[in-house]
Amino acid sequence: MAKIIVVTSGKGGVGKTTSAAAIATGLALRGNKTVVIDFDVGLRNLDLIMGCERRVVYDLVNVIQGDAGLNQAMIRDKRVENLHILPASQTRDKDALTSEGVEKILDALTEDFDFIICDSPAGIERGAQLAMYFADEAVVVTNPEVSSVRDSDRILGLLSSKTRRAEQNRDPVKEHLLITRYNPSRVDGGDMLNLDDICEILAIDLIGLIPESEAVLRASNQGIPVTHDQKSDAGQAYTDTVSRLLGETVPLRFHEYQKKGLLSRVFGGGRR
């Protein structure tokens, strides 16, 4: 029986699709059969991050409308055997998504997978609401800035009231906080919210902190989820996040500003 996890945010551009790809990859690398679904109809990006854009033939809307079977639309990842991608449509309208169609797909996938990762569009429109409606758990992605945190608080309200679990009076969706693009030196300078302030405002468990890193942009441009880059701080931070998602206790890294010594300033040595 698969666990359905939505990766969501109120604000766009916070690294949600990057996080969905990285988390799905990390789960699959740990031996879990995982599928990641792109719910951002009209603005498809997950296939680019996963490096399979040229292999897309059918998509999520095709399956919902009966134009293709689920197995025809799913793409097997070339790097990780246990990982599959179900892309979004780039040409259809968001109204093409229906609750009945999404439920049917999720029910079918639940039989064969351990984890279903739903990459939600930003905001609170239909695609985002459908991505979270059937979720068992939610990873709420936010940047350390006021507008992003405020929008995340709005998403938490929807998770507690507009999901199937809420409507059926079941245990609520388990919420996790993922902070991305965290830069300790800018936090120390007062340019970003600090970790404690974000956690206090949103009041949900912190599952991961991803440092601001060139490795993320490099991985996205190469179509390789950053989890594969274990030499980078971001890749290690996503791996830590996956471990916590699996119930393991892992110390938090990359949240303190490390001042460079004289040798580092002279000869370099910045993190990748």
Q: Evaluate whether 228 touches 219 at the Cβ level (below 8 Å).
A: yes
| 10 annotated binding-site participant | no
| 14 annotated binding-site participant | yes
3-state secondary structure of 205: strand
State residue 139 phi and psi, 5-degree precision. Answer: -105, 110
| 18 annotated binding-site participant | yes
**CA distance linking residue 201 with residue 6, whole number of Å:** 21
| 16 annotated binding-site participant | yes
**CA distance linking residue 158 with residue 105, whole number of Å:** 22
| 15 annotated binding-site participant | yes
| 13 annotated binding-site participant | yes
**Helix H segments across 31-168?**
46-50, 60-64, 70-73, 99-110, 126-133, 146-161, 164-167
- State the DSSP H helix or E strand holding residue 137, giving kind and residue range, or none if neither: strand 137-142
Q: Evaluate whether 70 touches 37 at the Cβ level (below 8 Å).
A: no
Cα angle: 141, vertex 142, 144; to 5 degrees: 150
Residue ranges for the binding site?
11-18
Residue ranges for the binding site for ATP?
11-18
